[in-house]
């Protein structure tokens, strides 16, 4: 009897350890409550100062967290400057907000030297950016440590603008995120813009007979073709959520329903049955059990922010976010 009990306890312990390794637990809400009680308020005020001066930094900071977590885990490896680092990889060349993170880090080092990680600053800044854009807040577990590796060659599994739903689902699944998480987190496109070069292939010669992507609303297509002229305008910026690019809301999903998704990977969420259901639930359509986007976004962000985190003695607490110690 005692032997059986020991085996059960042992197996539960093993499961707990494996679960920690896989899902990146070890972070907790209020991690800095005794070591740097003002940590979250310093980040919040710093982000607010920058975003109030330039609202486009909000989606930039949210996207930075996403790109950080999908490569080497949420360890601030995307912040490291230098030749051949993640920051120099093509998918990261458009990232913005690095100065906001460095500003917060400088203030935190003055208040609590060597305590708050850059990885936690990125996670907190993403949450604060959503709130400043009109979204709901959520509690961010902290306690991440900063990684010691940053290589452009590792940036090979980020979701891409032309990905099919199956490709997106596979990339999210490898990070422990399910289909609902996918539809929810991509909903972060409710704020921000993208360049014409990332979707202009949909506007002309998309089909074998030279037509545009048939999933685009015809009246919207002509607008996009004007905003993204053929053979020019590749860097022109277009709102990812037409009519609501600065407000964190569920109108992004209404645009997908109406054939007004900008990226091919976004519109695909409406065209594929496995993801369309979640889009419909966020819109409260067809009598389906509704989902509240703002609430679910926070839940999925917590899951994402725990991907491959380094805690305890793993990693380091950088003194400057753009350089290893």
Asked if residue 150 belongs to a domain, the reply is yes
Amino acid 285: pLDDT: 74
Total domains present in the chain: 2
Same domain, 142 and 255: no
Binding residues: 68, 71, 73, 75, 77, 86, 159, 189-190, 241, 249
122-173 pLDDT, tens digit each: 999 999 999 999 999 999 999 999 999 999 999 998 999 999 999 999 999 9
Same domain, 42 and 150: yes
Measured between alpha carbons, how far is residue 256 from residues 193, 276, 283 in Å? 16, 9, 11
- Token reading at 199: 């979707």
Phi-psi region for residue 26, left (φ > 0), alpha (ψ -120 to 50) or beta? left
216-235 pLDDT, tens digit each: 999 999 999 999 999 899 99
- Token reading at 224: 């996009």
Question: Which of 115, 138, 157 represents a domain boundary (last residue)?
Answer: 157
Same domain, 94 and 143: yes
Same domain, 119 and 70: yes
How far is Cα 120 from Cα 33, in angstroms, rounded to an integer? 14
Amino acid 17: pLDDT: 44
The CATH number given to whatever domain includes residue 47 is 1.10.520.10
Same domain, 178 and 117: no
Q: Cβ atoms within 10 A of the Cβ of 320, count?
A: 15
- Token reading at 30: 């209020």
Binding residues for Ca(2+): 68, 71, 73, 75, 77, 86, 190, 241, 249
Same domain, 147 and 215: no
Asked if residue 317 belongs to a domain, the reply is no
| CB-side neighbour CA atoms (13 Å) of 147 | 20
Residues 120/68, Cβ–Cβ less than 8 Å: no
Asked if residue 20 belongs to a domain, the reply is no
Query: Which of the 8 DSSP states describes residue 319?
Result: S
Same domain, 72 and 124: yes
Instruction: Tell me how far the alpha carbon of residue 176 is from its chain's centroid.
Output: 14
Catalytic machinery residues: 67
How does the average pLDDT of the chain come out, rounded? 92
Same domain, 37 and 149: yes
Same domain, 194 and 277: yes
Give me the domain span that covers residue 251.
165-303
Residues paired with 195 in a beta bridge: 237
Binding residues for heme b: 189
Asked if residue 45 belongs to a domain, the reply is yes
Rounded to 5°, angle at Cα 272 from 269 and 274: 95
Same domain, 207 and 127: no
In the block, which residue shows the tokens 């976010």? 321
Asked if residue 203 belongs to a domain, the reply is yes
Same domain, 149 and 279: no
229-273 pLDDT, tens digit each: 998 999 999 999 999 999 999 999 999 999 999 999 999 999 999
The CATH number given to whatever domain includes residue 248 is 1.10.420.10
Buried b (16+ CB within 10 A) or exposed e, 177-202: bebbbbbbbbbbbbbbbbbbebbbeb
How far is Cα 76 from Cα 310, in angstroms, rounded to an integer? 10
177-204 pLDDT, tens digit each: 999 999 999 999 999 999 999 999 999 9
Query: Which range, of 4-18, 131-145, 279-293, averages the lowest pLDDT?
Result: 4-18
| CB-side neighbour CA atoms (13 Å) of 102 | 11
Same domain, 121 and 183: no
pLDDT range class, residue 26, cuts 50, 70, 90: confident
Q: How far apart are the first and last CA of the chain?
A: 52
Asked if residue 204 belongs to a domain, the reply is yes
How far is Cα 40 from Cα 33, in angstroms, rounded to an integer? 9
Binding residues for substrate: 159
pLDDT range class, residue 288, cuts 50, 70, 90: low
How far is Cα 325 from Cα 316, in angstroms, rounded to an integer? 8
CA dihedral sign of residues 57, 58, 62, 65: positive
Asked if residue 7 belongs to a domain, the reply is no
pTM value? 0.91
Asked if residue 15 belongs to a domain, the reply is no
């Amino acid at each position: 009897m005692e032997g059986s009990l020991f085996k059960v306890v042992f197996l539960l312990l093993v499961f707990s350890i494996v679960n920690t390794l896989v899902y990146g637990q070890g972070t907790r809400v209020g991690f800095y409550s005794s070591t740097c009680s003002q940590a979250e308020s310093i980040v919040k005020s710093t982000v607010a100062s920058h975003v109030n001066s330039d609202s486009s930094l909000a989606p930039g900071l949210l996207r930075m967290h996403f790109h950080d977590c999908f490569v080497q885990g949420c360890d601030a490896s995307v912040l490291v400057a230098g030749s051949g680092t993640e920051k120099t990889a093509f998918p990261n060349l458009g990232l913005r907000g690095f100065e906001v993170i460095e500003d917060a880090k400088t203030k935190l080092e003055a208040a609590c030297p060597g305590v708050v990680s850059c990885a936690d600053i990125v996670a907190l800044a993403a949450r604060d950016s959503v709130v400043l854009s009109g979204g709901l807040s959520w509690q961010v577990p902290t306690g991440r440590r900063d990684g010691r590796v940053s290589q452009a060659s590792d940036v090979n599994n980020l979701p891409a603008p032309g990905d099919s739903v199956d490709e997106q689902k596979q990339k999210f699944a490898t990070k422990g995120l399910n289909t609902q998480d996918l539809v929810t987190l991509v909903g972060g496109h409710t704020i921000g813009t993208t360049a014409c070069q990332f979707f202009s292939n949909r506007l002309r010669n998309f089909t074998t007979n030279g037509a545009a992507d048939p999933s685009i609303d015809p009246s919207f297509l002509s607008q996009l073709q004007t905003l993204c002229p053929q053979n020019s305008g590749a860097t022109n910026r277009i709102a990812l959520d037409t009519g609501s690019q600065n407000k964190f809301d569920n109108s992004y999903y209404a645009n997908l329903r109406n054939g007004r998704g900008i990226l091919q990977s976004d519109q695909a969420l409406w065209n594929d049955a496995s993801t369309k259901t979640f889009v419909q639930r966020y819109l409260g359509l067809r009598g389906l059990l509704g989902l509240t986007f703002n609430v679910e976004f926070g839940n999925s962000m917590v899951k994402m922010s725990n991907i491959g985190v380094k805690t305890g003695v793993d990693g380091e607490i950088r003194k400057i976010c753009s350089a290893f110690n």
